[in-house]
Amino acid sequence: MKIKRAYFTNGVEKAIDELAREIIRFTKGTGADGGVVGLSGGVDSTTIAYLCNYAFNMYNQENLNNPLQLYGVIMPSNANREVDRQDGLRVAKNIGIESLVIPIEPIAEAFAHQILDIKGEFHRGNLYSEVRAVVLSRVAAAKNCRVMGTGNKDEDYVLGYFTKRGDGAVDNNILGNIPKRLVKDLAKHLGVSEDLVNRVPTAALWKGQTDERELGYTYEQAELIQNGFDQEYTSIQIQKITGFKKEIINDVARRHRITQHKREIPLIGELNLSYEVEK
């Protein structure tokens, strides 16, 4: 027994070109003038920034009179380190796009002051994510752009490890079918520096927070476990194949199950209605 892993069918270079064409089709197809991406300095947002920049440059070479624009937005809070802001600015500078720094702590504090139930680092962290979504939405609207999502397959599909109305509130999610393992391959081929490719994943929800420390396992473990379930192995079989602890396997299965609502459009009631001609 062996669990299969995903790989780019035609290689990384062709995958980049295919993703770039998808970005162009989506952006132009929705009547937008470009895209807005939140820059955290992490590998996912950095890869999206480099990928969108590559796509827009490809388009702009043949459309000089109506170019697509990309904007990077850095949104620090008290949970961020100064290096996060600097890394975000470095990404924008490296690819030559306009960047904005919009501190979100005052906005989050105003919410917390009015809604007294927002207590504890978990709820405060999700508030940070939601505030960032509002900021990106308003910046995008002002510039007639679309909010480019930065979630990958492991976070969104496997674990549902995102804030539904925060980093989940985007106009597209071009990396949504790609595990973080392959996102790193994209980043390397796009020219992202090694330190950003291998930066410890964090949603910056509270000070010292890292994704894999909070989860208790790595994204690669989660990817392999969910691949096993998708290939119709049982949890016992997955444990035998991988050697992972059953607690880890069970937690991946639990998170995947209870976060399904995050991956679906809002429920629409199925009540039947009858229509009559007005007399």
Q: What is the pLDDT of residues 145-164, one digit of tens each?
A: 999 999 999 999 999 999 99
Q: List, for residues 4-44, the tens digit of each pLDDT value.
A: 999 999 999 999 999 999 999 999 999 999 999 999 999 99
Tell me the pLDDT of the chain averaged across its residues: 94
pLDDT of 203 strictly over 90: no
pLDDT at 1: 83
Quote the strand ranges of the chain, DSSP E: 34-38, 69-74, 98-101, 146-147
Q: List, for residues 78-102, the tens digit of each pLDDT value.
A: 988 898 999 999 999 999 999 999 9
Let me know if residue 41 belongs to a domain.
yes
Q: Are 45 and 97 in contact (CB under 8 A)?
A: no
Let me know if residue 230 belongs to a domain.
no
pLDDT at 151: 94
Q: What is the CATH number of the domain that holds 49?
A: 3.40.50.620
| pTM of the predicted protein model | 0.92
Q: Are 52 and 148 in contact (CB under 8 A)?
A: yes
Let me know if residue 38 belongs to a domain.
yes
pLDDT at 201: 84
Taking the C-alpha atoms of residue 85 and residue 88, their distance in angstroms, rounded to an integer, is 5
Let me know if residue 95 belongs to a domain.
yes
Amino acid at the residue 220: E
Let me know if residue 254 belongs to a domain.
no
Number of structural domains in the chain: 1
Residue 177 CA, distance from chain mean position: 11
Taking the C-alpha atoms of residue 87 and residue 5, their distance in angstroms, rounded to an integer, is 31
Amino acid at the residue 81: R
Let me know if residue 242 belongs to a domain.
no
Let me know if residue 61 belongs to a domain.
yes
Domain ranges, residue 62:
12-211
Let me know if residue 163 belongs to a domain.
yes
Backbone φ, ψ for residue 2 (5° rounding): -150, 135
pLDDT of 107 strictly over 90: yes
Taking the C-alpha atoms of residue 33 and residue 15, their distance in angstroms, rounded to an integer, is 24
Taking the C-alpha atoms of residue 229 and residue 270, their distance in angstroms, rounded to an integer, is 31
Model confidence band, residue 265 (pLDDT cutoffs 50, 70, 90): confident
Taking the C-alpha atoms of residue 135 and residue 57, their distance in angstroms, rounded to an integer, is 25
